[in-house]
Amino acid sequence: MEDTNSLIEQRKAKLAALRAKGIDPFQNKFTPTETCKQARDNYVESREVALAGRITAHRDMGKSMFIDIRDQSGRIQAYAQKNVLGDEQFHIFQHLDLGDFIGVKGTMFTTKTGEISVKIGGVAAAPSQPSGDGASPLPPFVILAKALRPPPAKYYGLEDTEIRYRQRYLDLIANPDVKDVMLKRSAIIHEIRNFFHERNYVEVETPAMQAIPGGAAAQPFKTFHNALGCEFYLRIALELYHKRLLVGGIDKLFEIGKNFRNEGLSRRHNPEFTMLEAYCAFGDYATMMETVESLITTVAQKVLGSLVIEHPLKCRFKKELNNSIIKLKYLHKKLIEDFNKSLINSDVTTEAYLDFNTVFSASMRELELLSHPNNKTPLNQAIQQARKSFINCSMEGNFFRLSPGMEVTKKEVDGYTEEFVSFITQILPQFDSLKNEAGAIPPESLNKVIDLTTWRRAKYNDLVTEKAGANWFTLSAAERRQKAHDMGAEIGKEFEDFEVTNAVFSKFIEPTLIQPTFVTHLPKELVPLAKLSPDDPTTVEVFECCINGQEISPGYTEQNDPIAQRTTLEHQAGGEQQKLDEDFLVALEHGMPPAGGIGIGIDRLCMMLLGQESIRDVILFPQLKPK
């Protein structure tokens, strides 16, 4: 970023001016007595405090001035007065910029309007200061770090998604909701660690650079170690090293770490993502089901204080949503008024069309803001409907192409009038329904609610027949293929029968599993690395825990038969010996205790718990193409 503009130049000039006065606006240290929040919480009139933070707003009153100071805990208002600071200091204070870090010393007070604030200055010199003739009092404020670039706007926040992701620090400054999500993510991971430590699990760290990337079927990233002169891969799973540790006698272990998969990016996929894996010797998949349920409910309770999680229509834009609805209501009213007026006068001029056009454009904009394809709420559907109608009308209607000063014949005007009347007639009911939807439905019921108090357990085949018909498994393979195709599933030509069924599961069942569901008794073909169910050898002892329409966590009774494991791994490697992790197989041959294992995608768990629709909104620095 080499761009320069006048705003940066101005700030650099201010920096130079400060330096010329012998002030270094980049300090090494400042010790606040407390955080901004603590100062407000422990309010005592006239109590002396020292606070530090970033200046996020200022209100200049001439001979006095208010600023907002913000640290991680929150904001507090500070008040500076010319007759307290003196002309010189007050002048410097007035020329502070938004974004500067400042430390202030002063006393607490409450303003006329009742806001708890700190009055800068008026604090006696600290005893530790060198005393004597020239003992200078503590400076009432210290510039701790001058910001040379302007911060994002205070009111609108930062909307540009690209800047939000590329310069996340600006996002964190401008959008408090974003910071809240990221802090909660940290709390979630903290509570996950607590959970396992309390259950006497050992936290381990295993190699991220692996000679043979195993434990999952995914494309790895490749790298090269110069000194060793060989290639390494970034891990795609933690599993195989954890099992080596089970062999080594670490019976209960977990790891939270990054996995890397060289595949596509999407709303749910980041090339590097955080994975939790945990293994429990002498347990099985049922043990792990209990663990997952207990883990997620414990974390939700501790971090969110509730087991009922609401996903707002669009978390971050809640404020904008409310504003948009208000604007829409206004526009709706205006449309009706204008329309009635034009009907009464029955002489519609070009200017009147232009007014309509303006209202129309503004309406379109609001609808676009409100539209979010990921939301299937009734309100959103009404919005999509209204948008479609708008677009159709704009395609057909000529009245949008009128402009000021344009000469129009009577005949044309009549034609446009007719078009416009038909357009309005068509669109008004939609506006009405939209208004009613927005007005009548309480905001809570627009939200998706995930209830973690009830965890359903369902067999894979039962879920399939529920959706695809009771006769699904009695059909011939060809009939199943046809039916899946008719239902709209994408069926590859080379798909085996179980893959056809699974395509139906992935497309039509998994997305509907919003409430916590353990899908069990998966067909053995689907999960070749798991152990067969003793009660039904066509299925395996595996669960997939689905919440929020996504698989959050798979769990296994782990394969500990080295010969069976070798066969499946060889089959997976497709005869390519170099892809076979021989060292792992040797470990198994030394004997691995029976064990249950789970993996949990932390990013997706955070999406679910924090109501975020995109994985990028729970990762501080999501991967983007370099500019």
Partner RNA sequence: GGGUUGGUAGCUCAGUCGGUAGAGCAGUGCCCUUUUAAGGCAUUGGUCGAGGGUUCGAGUCCCUCCCAACCCA
Residues lying near RNA in the complex (CB under 7 A): 5-7, 10, 14, 57-64, 66, 68, 77, 79, 81-83, 95, 97-98, 109-115, 117, 119, 150, 152-163, 165, 264, 266-267, 354, 357, 361, 365, 373-374, 400-401, 403-407, 490, 613-614, 616, 622, 624-625, 627
Pick the closer one to RNA by CB: 67 or 245: 67
CB of 493 to RNA, least distance (A): 12
- Within its chain, how far is the Cα of 187 from the centroid? 15
CB of 8 to RNA, least distance (A): 8
CA distances, 170 to each of 144, 154, 162, 380, 595 (Å): 19, 11, 11, 30, 46
81 bridge partner residues: 64
Which residue matches tokens 């069926």? 491
CB of 163 to RNA, least distance (A): 6
CB of 306 to RNA, least distance (A): 26
Instruction: Tell me which DSSP letter residue 544 carries.
Output: E
In 3D space, the residue among 89, 84, 135, 127 whose CA is nearest the CA of residue 107 turns out to be: 84
Which residue matches tokens 């069990």? 520
Give one DSSP letter per residue of 269-318, joined into a string.
Answer: B-SEEEEEEEEEET--HHHHHHHHHHHHHHHHHHHHS-SEEEE-TTGGGH
CB of 144 to RNA, least distance (A): 18
Pick the closer one to RNA by CB: 363 or 461: 363
Pick the closer one to RNA by CB: 100 or 277: 100
Q: Which pair of structure tokens corresponds to residue 563? A: 């010969």
- Between CA 460 and CA 442 the distance in angstroms is 36
Pick the closer one to RNA by CB: 598 or 619: 619
Pick the closer one to RNA by CB: 171 or 239: 171
449 bridge partner residues: 310
DSSP strand E in 44-88: where? 48-60, 64-71, 74-81
CB of 445 to RNA, least distance (A): 22
Instruction: Please say whether the beta carbons of 491 and 481 come within 8 A.
Output: yes
How large is the greatest C-alpha to C-alpha distance in the chain, in angstroms?
Answer: 101
Q: Which pair of structure tokens corresponds to residue 591? A: 């004997």
Instruction: Tell me which DSSP letter residue 292 carries.
Output: H
- Between CA 528 and CA 571 the distance in angstroms is 10
CB of 507 to RNA, least distance (A): 7
Pick the closer one to RNA by CB: 10 or 381: 10
CB of 534 to RNA, least distance (A): 37
Amino acid at site 500:
V
Pick the closer one to RNA by CB: 267 or 456: 267
* CA–CA–CA angle 158, 164, 165 (5° rounding): 175
Instruction: Tell me which DSSP letter residue 125 carries.
Output: P
Pairing label, strands 230-234, 209-210: antiparallel
Instruction: Please say whether the beta carbons of 106 and 78 come within 8 A.
Output: yes
Pick the closer one to RNA by CB: 112 or 411: 112
CB of 58 to RNA, least distance (A): 6
Pick the closer one to RNA by CB: 22 or 62: 62
CB of 422 to RNA, least distance (A): 20
Pick the closer one to RNA by CB: 249 or 405: 405
Instruction: Please say whether the beta carbons of 380 and 372 come within 8 A.
Output: yes
